Structure formats: C-alpha cells, structure tokens
Structure 1
Amino acid sequence: MSADAVLVAVAVVFALTVLAIAVIGIGTLCWVGLQLLTLPGVVVHEFAHKQACDLVGVPVIEVAYFRFGDPPGYVRHAHPDQYRKSFVISVAPFLVNTVVSFAAFFALAVLVTAVVGNHVSVDLLAGLETASSEMLVLAVVLGWLGLSVGIQAFPSTGDANTLWVRSRSEWRRSPIVLLGVPVVLVIYVANLLSWLWADVFYALALGVTAFYAVSVLPI
C-alpha cells in the first residue's frame, strides 16, 4: 500500500467523520461506533445462548442477534425445567466467546509472525511497509473480531439473576445447585468490574495469550 493511498484513505475517513459529527452529533456518533465495534461479540454471545437452548432442548421464543437498542441482542426462551439447563444456557457465551476470540487472536498472531517474524517490536514497521493491503485489512478484521468477541464473553447480569433465583428456590430440594452459586457471584463481580474495563482487559489477555502461544509453538 503506497503512502499516497494511505493519505487519501485517512483524508476520506476524516472528512466522513467530520460530516457525521455535523449531521448527527458526536454523542450519537460515538454510540453508533461503539455498537458497531461490539457487533460481532454480541452476535456470537446470542448465538451461544441460542445453541445452548437447542442443545438442552429448551424452546426458543424469539432471537435478536443484534439491533441498535438496549439490550443490543437477546434470546427469549421457555422456562427450563431443570437447573442444569439454566446453567448451560447462562454460561454458554463465556465458553463460546472465549474460544472464538482466542481463535481470532491466534490467527492474527500467525499472520503477524508470518510477516515480521517473532521480533515484532523490531520488525513491525518494516513488515507493515512490505505487507499487502489485503493482509493489512485481514489483520484489522481479525483484531476487531478478537477484541469484540472477547469483550462480550462475560454473561450478563440477567443471566446471573436467572441462576440466583433458581438457586434460592431449588437448593433445599436439590442441594447440588449450590455449586452454581460461586459462578453467579463471579458473573455479578465481572459485570460490576466492567465499569473498570474488566471485559476489555479480559479480551486483551486472550490476545496476549494467543500471541505467546504462537511464539512458543513450532509454526
């Protein structure tokens, strides 16, 4: 990719950003941008809920994999007749999003290693100059997927509320449900720490782990 092409692309993006701010306002623009940033993660999160419902045999009433609203996605399903089904449906996004995010970061690490080798800090700029535009676009997409999907890995407070209500109502009849209480507490804490960007740090940790795995594996 030539320097002129990069300058033109930057100028176009800057002009469109200024135009968008003038038309819809910076607050709305930031909100739309955040929604688009998290789009892949929301889709994977709700897909995991939907597949978990199908896996345990709980009928799904309505699905919105993504929308511009609050919440940005949801899965409405029938009330599970067993606690274990509620547990599987609630925690499925954490497992699925974590795997998908790690896979995207792993692919990105493989791509970067193929371009610049293992000495990223030394050869990164030189590698970017020689990389094709298609490879740069692929790297950006993989990074976006890894970050977005990883950020959306934590189950929602609604998922924790569902498990907590069932734990309180069923523990006398089936004490084994108490094993799910620590998971409920972890979900609550994780959502609370999201105000401190814990979800972002989790996604970045997956990226660091993926890059480390590529650096030590004989790829």
Structure 2
Amino acid sequence: MTGGALGALGNAAITIAVAPGILSHEYAHVLACRLTGVEIRQRPSLALLESAATIEHDPVETFGQDFAIAVAPLVVNSLLALAAFFFATRLDPPVAFVPLWLGLTFGLTALPSHDDTASLVAGARTLSPGLRPVGYAIAVPVRAVSYSVFLAGIVALFWTGALLALVRPA
C-alpha cells in the first residue's frame, strides 16, 4: 500500500470513530448559517477518505456572520458533550459506554478547524476603527488555537476533559 492509501484509510478509521462529533460540528455551521442569513450551497458529508468534512455556503458579508459560523461547533458540540457526559456519569457500565463515547466525539470535535477560522482576522480588519480592537481580541485567539493541528488537538483534549469534569458527580 502506498502512503496516500494508508493516509486515506487512517482518515476513514478516525472519521468512523468520531462520526457523531464530525456531523454535529458541520451541522452547527449549518445552524449558524441559517441563523445569520447565509445561504448553504451544499450540506455536509462525512468524507470518509478525505482529511476533512466541510459545508459550502455563500460568502459572508459581516464579521459577525463569519465569527458565528466559525465558533458554532464550539457551542453546539460542547453542549452535546456536556449532556452525553452527564448521562455517562450517571449510568452503570456497559450502558455508560455509549454516552461516554458520544461525549468524547462531541468534545474532541468542538473546536473550530483551521479552515473554519481562516477568514476571521481579515474580517476583523473590516470592522470600524472603534470595533476593530474587539474584533481582533476575539478573532486572534480563536485563529491561533486552530492554526496548528497539534495545538488544536492538545486544546481539544483539555477542553473535553474540562467538559467531563463539569458534570462528574461529587
């Protein structure tokens, strides 16, 4: 097998393992598009043999739209992870495995991806001079975390652990 084929198989295995999180991540973008009035061109799919699942939507017109669409998975997947972890920590094994797995998939896929945040800093530049510092203050950290896959992975692990810790019974 070639390196490309092995990479594709690796992507397929990871995609299958975290499929619920990937789908909820992409559909969070869809929800944000609908809430901000941005038309969707193509619905998301899992893209088993590719490195990423994406949705296609019309260009955004405002920084607010761009930011909402970029960070929607953080909000939606974090809430889904909290709910799944809540049930996982209150059920007995082996039943608890299913909500625990779902919580992990939602938590690990909650952060915006590199592509999700690609236009945030440029969008902050378009804000009025009075709002531009605020735009940069929220766009730069989000972009910085998603810029490196390695850093994003580490942050995702800590984020998922923090979500689990929030619902762990005392």
The two structures share one fold, judged by TM-score above 0.5: yes
CA–CA separation in structure 2 for the residues paired with 1:28 and 1:89: 28
Q: Could you tell me how far 1:159 is from its partner in structure 2?
A: 2.4
Q: Which residue of 2 aligns with 1:189?
A: 144
Name stretches of at least 5 consecutive residues in structure 1 with no aligned partner: 1-24, 113-127, 129-135
- 1:110 and 2:68 are equivalent in the alignment: no
Contact map agreement 1:83 1:177 (CA 8 A) in 2: no
Instruction: For residue 28 of structure 1, report the CA deviation from its aligned partner.
Output: 6.3
Distance 1:54 1:99 in 2: 19
Distance 1:175 1:157, change over 3 A: farther
SS state of the match for residue 116, structure 2? helix
Give the TM-score taking structure 2 as reference length. Answer: 0.84
Q: Residues of 2 paired with 1:30 and 1:74: CA distance?
A: 18
Question: Which structure's residues are more often helix, by fraction?
Answer: 1
Contact preservation (8 Å) 1:150, 1:199: yes
User: Who is 2:113 aligned against?
Assistant: 156
Give 3-state SS (helix, strand or coil) of 2:137's partner: helix
Q: Give the deviation of 1:27 after TM superposition.
A: 6.8
- Alpha-carbon displacement from aligned partner over 1:121-151 (angstroms, at most 9, x marks no partner): xxxxxxx5xxxxxxx1x31111111001101
Q: 1:38: Cα distance to partner?
A: 1.8
- Distance in 2 (CA, whole Å) between partners of 1:210 and 1:65 is 31
State the Cα distance separating 1:29 from its structure 2 match: 5.5
Structure 2 counterparts to residues 120-199 of structure 1, below 5 A: 136=94, 138-168=95-125, 170-171=126-127, 173=128, 175-191=130-146, 192=148, 193-195=151-153, 197-199=154-156
In structure 1, the partner of 2:46 is 66
Q: Is the 8 A contact 1:47 1:65 kept in 2?
A: no
Count of residues in correspondence between the two structures: 163
Moved more, 64-73 or 38-47: 64-73
Counterpart position of 1:124:
none
Structure 2 unaligned blocks of 5 or more: none
1:148-172 Cα distance to aligned partner (Å, 9 max, x none):
110111111222221112122x13x
Task: Determine if contact 2:23/2:46 at 8 Å carries over to the other structure.
Answer: yes
Of the two, which has the highest radius of gyration?
1
**Pairing partner for 2:79 from 99, 111, 114:** 99
Query: In the TM superposition, what is the alpha-carbon distance from 1:174 to its structure 2 partner?
Result: 5.3
Amino acid at match of 1:40: P
Instruction: Give the whole-Å Cα distance in 2 for the aligned partners of 1:103 and 1:97.
Output: 10
Q: Determine the structure 2 residue equivalent to 1:88.
A: 68
- Counterpart CA distance in 2 for 1:30 and 1:82 is 37
Give me the CA root mean square deviation. 2.2
Which residue matches 2:30?
50
Once the two structures are superposed, residues 87-111 of structure 1 have per-residue CA deviations (whole angstroms, 9 ceiling, x without a partner) of 2111111111110011100111121
Q: Which amino acid aligns with 1:176?
A: L
SS in 1 for 2:41: strand
